[in-house]
Structure 1
Amino acid sequence: MRSNRLVSLSLLGAIVLGRVVFAGAKEKSANVGASYFQSLMRQQLTAWEKLDPAQAAKFYDQDAGDVFFDLAPMKYDGWKDYDAGVKKTLAPFSSVKFILGDDVKVHRHGALTWATATWTADAVTKAGEKQRLAGRWTLVWEKRGRRWLVVHEHFSMPIPQTAP
C-alpha cells in the first residue's frame, strides 16, 4: 500500500513538473517578438553576403511549393529553383554588404509571421565596379517544428525614376 502511494505521488510529481516545463517552453515560443525576427533578417542578409545560396539555405523552407521573388527572373518555385537561379544573379559579384533599413515592421499571427523592410547594399562586381543598391524586402515565416522558416520572400529594387 505504501509503495503504491509512493508510485502515485512520484507519477503525479512527474506530471506536474512536465506541465510546468512544457508550459514554459510554449510561453517562451509564444513570446517570440519583433526583435527575434529582425535578428533573423540580419542573419539572413549576412548569409547572403557570402554569395552562396547554401549559406542562406538553413533559413528557408525546402518545399517545392514555396514561391520566392528576387531581382530576376520573375519568380522561383521552391528552394531548389531559387538556389539554382540566384547563383546566376550573384555570379557577377565579388562582394556585397547589406544594410537592413531602420523601417522593419513585423506582424505575427499564430504560426505565421511576416515582415517588411528596406535595405541598401554596397556591392563590387568581379570587374571591380562599385555599386550602391537599394530595395525592399518582404518575408513570410512559418513555424515548422521548433524553427521559423521562410516560406515566401520578395526581394526587389524599384525601377529607377526618370526626370519629367
Structure 2
Amino acid sequence: MPNDDPSMPDASLDHNIASQMASIIFRLDQILRDTILRKLDLTYIHFRVLQYLYEKDGRQIGEIAAAIVVRQPVLSRVIDQMEERALVRRSADPQDSRRMRVYLTDHGRSRYQEAWPPAHELLETSLKGFKGREREALRRLLKKMAANLF
C-alpha cells in the first residue's frame, strides 16, 4: 500500500539506500562464502580480520573491531577460533604488556593470499560497467557516508 502522507519520507525499497547497500553486501558475502571462503575453511569475519591484518599486522583487538565493525567481545571469540586454526597469533604489546596485539601467521597470510584474488574478481564483477570516475566517486561517497556514522 503506497504512502499517501506527503510529510512521510519515501520508504520504498527503490529509494532506501541502506536497504540497497545491505542487499549488495549480503549477496557479496553469500557468493564469497559459497565460492571461495568455504574451500579455504574461512568465515566472512575471518576474511575481514585477515584482510585488515594483511594491510598492517600487529593490531590491537579494539582497533580491529572498530575497523571491521564488530563488537569487541564477538571479535575476541573469533580471534580465539582463528588462533585454533593457526591463522593468527596473539602477543603482548611491546610498549604495554597489559595489551595484546594480533599478528598473522604464515598460514593466515597464505590463506588470505589465496582468498583475495577471487574475492577481488568478485568485486570487479560487481562493478562491471563502472568507469574509473564512477568507481572513484562511489568510493569517495561511501567513505563520506561512513565518516558520518563513525
TM-score range, shorter chain: 0.3 to 0.5
Select the structure that is richer in strand: 1
- The structure with more helix, counted as a fraction of residues: 2
TM-score, with normalisation over the residues of structure 2? 0.32
Q: TM-score, normalised by structure 1?
A: 0.30
